[in-house]
Amino acid sequence: MKTFPAMSSFTVSQNVARMQSSATIAAMQAAQALRAAGANVCDFGAGEPDFDTPDNIKQAAERAMRAGHTKYTANAGIRELQSAIIAFYNKQFGAEYEPSEVMATAGGKQAIFNAVVTLLNPGDEALIPKPYWVTFPEIAVFAGAKPVFIETEETDFVLTADQVERAITPRTRLLILNSPSNPSGRVLPPAEFRKIMELTSERGIYVVSDECYLRFVYPPGEVFSAASLPEELRSRLCIAGSFSKTYAMTGWRVGYALAPAEWIKAMLKVQGHSTSNTNSMAQWAAVEALNGPQESVGIMLGEYTKRRAWLLKALSEIPGFKCSEPEGAFYAFPDVRGCLKKDLKTSGDFAQRLLEEEQTVVTDGAGFGAEGFIRISYATSMEQITEGIDRIKRFSKKYV
Ligand SMILES: Cc1ncc(COP(=O)(O)O)c(C=O)c1O
């Protein structure tokens, strides 16, 4: 086998050197490694639906491929996809967007990336409520800006306008919201969402609202998008959306940004020099996802609802665990500080020992800015959930 000389002269750029690797990807890799070694793994690490992409969506991609839709598209995506996104937001939330205010991206992640790097300069501050999705601070760091975290434990991880107000400084340029939240599953009440948007509008602060879990809200909660706010509160707002979770399309890489035309224009510049456009067949699949039958979304939501109810009850019975009720997404985020005894000092130790002793994967909350918590994804079968909870109970008993 040919060996290559070490790249001794390579030094990573300063901004990338300041970035952290993803804790969620690390948990996924740990599960893969154990599985490859033949272990019977219970995996609560998944950040993606355990359902297959609905067949009508797959068929649309197949038709697109056969019809020769296999070339570059416009950077902003095909007109049909822009129109389908606009129509969805109009029908669901009464919002009016123009094609110049919408772009398709390679997943919601690229929409957030585009939005953040087109806005932030070195020295700017980006407000990020804790616990946060691991990627938010890293993109701000990549842009050379400073993530400023907002503590929300006092309000059970539900952000308030007062908390935002206390964190604002003259350097604050951006606030990143994510409701329903990954990792906490908590949902911002619409009235508080509005108060936050009133505050940021008044102070001239931009907002990225990551609505990747938009449709996964459990009754009595209701689906809420920042798009339903009055237009005057949306002049500095970018909504980042995704097909990944709603339609079980994580591998297809389709998301979108909705923002004022000038901001989209800047994002198109970044995208035009990076990925150009998201995959052409996947764009046609996404058109079908939005315009075609929606039963699959209801079926998935029904299944998550059942699992969630079972899981929350089971978690409440584990000594040392405390778990607020997550109103959305597909995660529970229990506080495990009651189990941090003997040689378990941190939630990282908890996750690591659980993996070693019970072959059960959970994600350490520290990666989301919440030491002492763990994230449990219920995007996995009921069978796995019941077995995994038995293992967690057995493990915790040794410490409490
Ligand atoms: C909060 C949040 N935002 C955005 C994304 C991005 O998803 P995608 O790029 O697959 O659309 C994820 C994926 O895990 C997420 O959890």
Does the structure show a pLDDT above 90 at 378?
A: yes
* Mean predicted confidence (pLDDT) in 113-126: 97
* Mean predicted confidence (pLDDT) in 177-184: 98
Inter-CA distances, 389 with 51, 61, 314, Å: 21, 38, 7
Among 32, 84, 17, which Cα is nearest to 254's?
A: 84
Instruction: Tell me the pLDDT tens digit for each residue of 311-356.
Output: 999 999 999 999 999 999 999 999 999 999 989 999 999 999 999 9
Is residue 244 lining ligand 1, measured as CB closer than 6 Å?
Answer: yes
Out of 53, 103, 132, 133, mutate this one to test ligand 1's pocket (max ligand atoms within 8 Å of CB): namely: 133
Is residue 255 lining ligand 1, measured as CB closer than 6 Å?
Answer: yes
User: Is 384 within 8 Å of 42 (Cβ atoms)?
Assistant: yes
Ligand 1 geometric centre to CA of 242 (Å): 7
Ligand 1 geometric centre to CA of 182 (Å): 9
Among 127, 129, 104, which Cα is nearest to 114's?
A: 104
Instruction: Tell me the pLDDT tens digit for each residue of 35-63.
Output: 888 889 999 998 889 999 999 999 999 99
* Mean predicted confidence (pLDDT) in 30-35: 84
Is residue 212 lining ligand 1, measured as CB closer than 6 Å?
Answer: yes
Q: What is the pLDDT at residue 2?
A: 61
Distance, CA of 76 to CA of 86 (rounded, Å): 13
Is residue 242 lining ligand 1, measured as CB closer than 6 Å?
Answer: yes
Its pTM surpasses 0.75 = yes
Q: What is the pLDDT at residue 4?
A: 63
